[in-house]
Amino acid sequence: MEREFIMIKPDGVQRNLVGEVISRIEKVGFKILAMKFHKVTMDQAEKHYAIHKERPFYEGLLEYITSGPVVSMIVEGKEAVKITRKLVGATNPVDAEPGSIRGDYALEIGRNIIHAADTPENAIMEYQIYFNDNEIQSYERIDEDWIYE
């Protein structure tokens, strides 16, 4: 099993899409191991987006991601990162397939509803910014035999 970090961004929260996004994540079969509704601190934002520090959009990204509440999650499932990336859609909603979260609900790259880590290694690094080990639950879903072969 693989873990993935997902964040419903401030625009997703403000547009009342939290339930829709969580529903899609659950319906695909992922197990939610941790979830919190919180405001990203500047320190967390700087750690999370450090890879973009030299990019011209960096300051605006920090301002945006700390501008309002978000919902952060750790989900688990087989090939969770790869499947989540398809579920979420391309970073630029113009390129996102209809049926993906961004393809259905976003119009601009700077307001694209959701973040998902792009590799299993980045997922771990990212969720460790927002969650302590004692906040992550481990359990078996009663329907796992119907999800996995």
Q: Which residues participate in catalysis according to the annotation?
A: 115
Report the C-alpha gap between 51 and 71 in whole angstroms: 22
Give the pair of three-digit tokens for residue 130: 């927002």
Residue given tokens 């996102």 in the structure block: 96
In order, the DSSP letters of 120-138 are HHHHHHHHHHH--GGG---
H helix and E strand count, the chain: 8, 4
Triad 143, 115, 44: Cα angle to 5°: 115
Instruction: Measure the CA–CA gap between 112 and 119, rounded to whole angstroms.
Output: 19
Give me the residue label for tokens 């993906």: 100
